[in-house]
Chains A and B, each alone.
Chain A
Amino acid sequence: MRFCKTIWVVVLLLVTGIAWVAADNAYFRPRPVKFTVPAGWPQPVYDFKSNPLTQEGIALGRELFYDGRLSKDGNFSCGSCHQQFGAFDTYDHNLSHGFDNSFTTRNAPGLFNLAWQKEFMWDGGINHLDLQPLAPLTAPNEMAETLENVMAKLKADKKYRAMFKAAFGDETINTQRMNKAISQFVLTLVSSNSKYDKVKRGEASFILPEQLGYDIFKKKCNSCHTEPLFTDFSYRNTGLKADPYLNDVGRMKITGNPADSLKFRVPSLRNVARTFPYGHDGRFFSLSSVFEHYRNGMTVMHNTDSLLQHKLALSNFEIGQLTAFLYTLTDSSFLTNPRFAPPGSENIGKAPVDIHL
């Protein structure tokens, strides 16, 4: 009888203990966010299982993305070079401004549809989205800060401690959690609602020049700027001679292979009307100068892409129609989505008015 009583006491203790452990955790558990793959798109390459999206994680990532304190002098947040109205590139800048009056050495790319991208930077040197923020954070001509200092600043901030706890379950702050949170935020930057997308979904139709431009696009551009992401993520030499002051060899810097000299990642053309200037060093200030490069300006080298060995024949008429089509890739709901704007600020949704052609 006494033995029986002991068992009951132990069972009761166990049940209370388990209940205590499990109890209010449900209340604090971060709320999952579903990542939706637009119809007809391929499956993302990002491993969401290793970093499930949650409301709290995305909110933390957004806070970090727009926090200048992540840089050495407090002036440069991720968002200072990745501006929403420029589809998260640096609007109207060939190169971006960094710490102590310095410039970056490449054109800041727009940030969208990153869940489908395996490698990052113009040369593909970074092999995981979670690793990407480390480069601008520590580069002396960008945010110029050490990771140790960033961690110290975050740990000293009560608000961040609470946000890390809300996102990850406890107050531990480390590089991995910081970067996972930033990844969560930038993964939500999906641009899939341009006129082109609406036409594809049967919600709108092209006007004649857009349709003609689309037909030309499918013949002359689509093999590299492949739909629906408008890039095949390959590295190609498009006959751009190196700028003598930058001397950027591109992909060769990563592979060490001379065959990769002056190869750069094919950029997506989504929101292209907003992401000028163009090219890895931002040398082209308008779409028409890019077309001019392909039909005349190219320096054909031994490893220039086989599709461009004879440059790209384009008539003035074709350029006009292509331009009309490329304008349909502008996703205004993405460019003005208040969820992507700095936390707490009202997004006015007005982009600068000058559009370069």
Chain B
Amino acid sequence: MNRFAKYIAFTGCLALLLSFTGKHPPEPHVVTLRFHSVVGNHSLELGRSYVNALGDTIAVQRFKYYVSNIIITDAVGKDVYLFPRRYYLVDAEDSASQSIQLKIPALPLKQVRFTLGVDSIRNVSGVQTGALDPLHGMFWTWNSGYIMAKLEGVSSSAHVPGQRFTYHVGGFKAADNTARVITLDLPPGTAPVDEINIAADINAWFKGGFLLKIGEHPICHSPGGLAVQIADNYKGMFSISSVR
């Protein structure tokens, strides 16, 4: 048995012993952030064909992105709940990955802030574990750094083999940085919040300050100008669809 397991066993025994005498602490309240993918007004179904905001057809096969450094503020704007050094890989293919549980007291909340992507420190600190493990295919091995967000699919406008458009957006160095801080205000209300539903609209990738025409740019696979333009677009993909 290793030391960690022993600690668990020992503290478990101790806790059990103490639980006979002490009062149970209240269960911490959990707020769930739930991400769901949409294309405009439609819920995203992988493999199904949609027409994007620029009129290109798209059938999305992969859609993943990192969510990190979540910060939640309460309605008064006084208490701030920080979740630093926690990284989540939200994957349209894996529903479990789309829910993020945060321990926050039952309170009315005002704002959700998070980083779409991975901070530069984690890009230069060797091999990471968990959601940041390079085996998730979100890491460039030949030019060290995380792919902050990935969108792949088929489009009749993509004049490349398989008609596949592939956007692997990454880059963490100053001018090439593709991590974006997202700030979302919750609708004002007085009820304590249990669940925050956040929509990620794929249309925003194509239509923002930059018009990403699949015919012109079917591929983005390295840090640089195009990746930054796409990042400036996807910064606007999130909105709060409902709060419970």
Contact = CB atoms under 8 A, between A and B. Distances in A.
Given A127-B144, A147-B133, A169-B3, 13 more contacts: A21-B3, A21-B7, A51-B126, A126-B142, A126-B143, A127-B145, A128-B144, A131-B141, A134-B134, A170-B5, A175-B129, A256-B176, A256-B224
Given A128-B144, A131-B126, A170-B2, A147 B224 contact: no
In the A-B complex, list the 9 residue pairs whose CB atoms are closest, starting with the nearest. A130-B126, A147-B135, A134-B141, A170-B2, A176-B127, A125-B143, A135-B141, A127-B144, A128-B126
Nearest to B125: A128
A296 to B, nearest CB: 34
A346 interface: no
Interface in B194-231: 222-225
Interface string A161-199: 000010001100011100110000000000000000000
Contacts of B134: 131, 134, 147, 175
Interface in B120-156: 123-129, 133-135, 139, 141-145
B42 interface: no
Contacts of A139: 141-142
A50 B2 CA distance: 21
Contact of A17 (B10, B124, B128): B10
Interface in A120-176: 121, 125-131, 134-135, 137-139, 146-148, 151, 165, 169-170, 174-176
Size class of the B contact interface (CB-based, 8 Å): 20 to 34
Contacts of A138: 141
Contacts of A17: 10, 13-14
5 contacts: A50-B125, A127-B145, A128-B127, A170-B4, A175-B134
B6 interface: yes
Given A127-B144, A135-B142, A256-B224, A169 B127 contact: no
A253 interface: yes
Nearest to A170: B2
Given A121-B142, A127-B144, A179-B127, A20 B10 contact: yes
B135 A146 contact: yes
Interface in B1-43: 2-7, 10, 13-14, 17
Contacts of A345: none
A76 B98 CA distance: 38
A254 interface: yes
B3 A180 contact: no
B222 A174 contact: no
A176 B5 CA distance: 21
B144 A125 contact: yes
B10 A151 contact: no
Interface in A252-298: 253-254, 256
B59 to A, nearest CB: 25
A131 B129 CA distance: 12
Interface in B87-128: 123-128
A316 interface: no
Contacts of A121: 142
Contacts of B2: 25, 165, 169-170
A329 B174 CA distance: 40
Given A17-B13, A256-B222, A25 B135 contact: no
A51 B145 CA distance: 20
Interface in A321-357: none
Interface in B172-199: 176
Contacts of A135: 141-142
B10 A130 contact: no
Contact of A180 (B127, B141, B144, B223): B127
Given A176-B127, A179-B127, A131 B144 contact: yes
A20 B13 CA distance: 13
B142 A176 contact: no
Contact of A125 (B127, B128, B142, B176): B142
Contact of B129 (A13, A147, A169, A176): A176
Interface string A34-56: 00000000000000001100000
A126 B142 CA distance: 6
Contacts of A174: 129, 133
A310 B222 CA distance: 35
A49 to B, nearest CB: 12
A21 B6 contact: yes
Given A147-B134, A174-B133, A253-B143, A130 B127 contact: yes
Contacts of A254: 143
Contacts of B223: 256
Question: Which of B3, B5, B141, B145 has the most C-beta atoms of chain A within 10 angstroms of its own C-beta?
Answer: B141
A18 B2 CA distance: 14
Contacts of A179: 126-127
Given A125-B144, A170-B2, A170-B4, A175 B127 contact: yes
Given A131-B141, A135-B141, A256-B224, A175 B6 contact: no
B109 to A, nearest CB: 35
Interface in A1-59: 13-14, 17-18, 20-21, 25, 50-51
Contacts of B139: 134
A339 to B, nearest CB: 24
